[in-house]
Structure 1
């Protein structure tokens, strides 16, 4: 199978007060093949969030490189990273980051609309993903009307719906 994500010799050092250096990541190497399921685990403070932020183009490494589908992300401009985040990476944040004035359906289709997809395509993809996550009956509700678990499923649906559909095996 083709490698989807590669992290090579990744390093991240913070200098919170210019006198003390904090090494968050040191020589991290990861290879994830397309279709694989990967888990990142470790104790609090071990660099998991830092690593994910760098992979997602939200933060910069101080050394090494990240490749997504063969494209080097390290050193890209903020505009280029923004396009990659919009079109190729689905984020599910701990706080879900749902827009409170939008329905579940509108939250799910939000990124697809930014991508320029038409309403028919959005409707079809939202229903497809909502059925898989068993939230199709919740699509007209606002986030405040949903339980925490339901909000989490809406956030997952938003991330999945906006990324390209995987090819059938």
Structure 2
């Protein structure tokens, strides 16, 4: 069984993330969505809220792709998380060339720690390349419409978080 790990903070999950999940699910038998516990980023949503949002969004994807999708919160090194879930592939989404420099460094470090795990980059579809969770939160915080960037359920969760 080929197991892939798609890590992120998913604060919140966006249409860009969903695009990468949908396409990564075609490449592996099981795709583990690793929801990172990253206290340094100061997430808007709690870990429990982020996990619930991710689970709700991919409930229908399993039937469509035939891939088993699992959510796995983690706080350790990404390469250790990959080992914990039995992943032989780490999936990373790229939006723009600027993402590549950071990702390139991370691949080098991960390979130095465990060269049995490959990293696969998937480019976001053109219509999703500008979407970033950080920008979605900022637009929502300032009262803007984020419905083009997230699903209706996530949009509602953002409005609730903002007290609207």
Indicate the TM-score class for this superposition, using the shorter chain for normalisation. under 0.3
- Structure with the bigger percentage of helix: 2
Query: Which structure is richer in relative contact order (CA contacts within 8 A, separation 6 or more)?
Result: 2
TM-score norm. by structure 1 comes to 0.25
TM-score norm. by structure 2 comes to 0.26
